[in-house]
């Protein structure tokens, strides 16, 4: 409704301001997405390290120290792997 009272130059300035604000929000979203993606990637890498260590017979407390994960999470990964392995064997 306000657009009816704006000159063409003011409308153009308003559109540029809106685009600029949109660009800022897009940049913030990209930065957050990259940060979240990096965290997820690091966690997946730690999980793969735990499983590789488990395949080679390493102890859960050693794997937790190496990967920087809580011991409970390492044990849960081990239990989940065994459950999947059992399901595939049946």
Give 26-62 pLDDT, tens digit per residue: 777 788 888 888 888 888 888 889 889 988 988 988 9
**3 state SS for the chain:** CHHHHCCHHHHHHHHHHHHHHHHHHHHHHHHHHHHHHHHHHHHHHHHHHHHHHHHCCCCHHHHHHHHCCCHHHHHHHHHHHHHHHHHHHC
What integer pLDDT is reported at residue 33 of this predicted model? 81
Residue 15: CA count within 13 A, CB half-sphere: 8
Where residue 76 falls among pLDDT bands split at 50, 70, 90? very high
Q: pTM of the prediction?
A: 0.57
Q: Which two tokens stand for residue 41?
A: 């990637």
């Amino acid at each position: 409704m306000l657009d009816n009272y704006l000159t063409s130059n003011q409308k153009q300035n308003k559109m540029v301001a809106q685009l600029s604000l949109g660009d800022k929000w897009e940049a913030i979203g990209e930065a957050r997405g990259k940060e979240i993606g990096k965290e997820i990637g690091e966690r997946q890498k730690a999980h793969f390290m735990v499983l590789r260590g488990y395949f080679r017979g390493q102890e859960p407390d050693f794997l937790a120290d190496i990967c920087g994960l809580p011991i409970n999470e390492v044990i849960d990964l081990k239990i989940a792997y065994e459950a999947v392995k059992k399901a595939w064997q049946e």
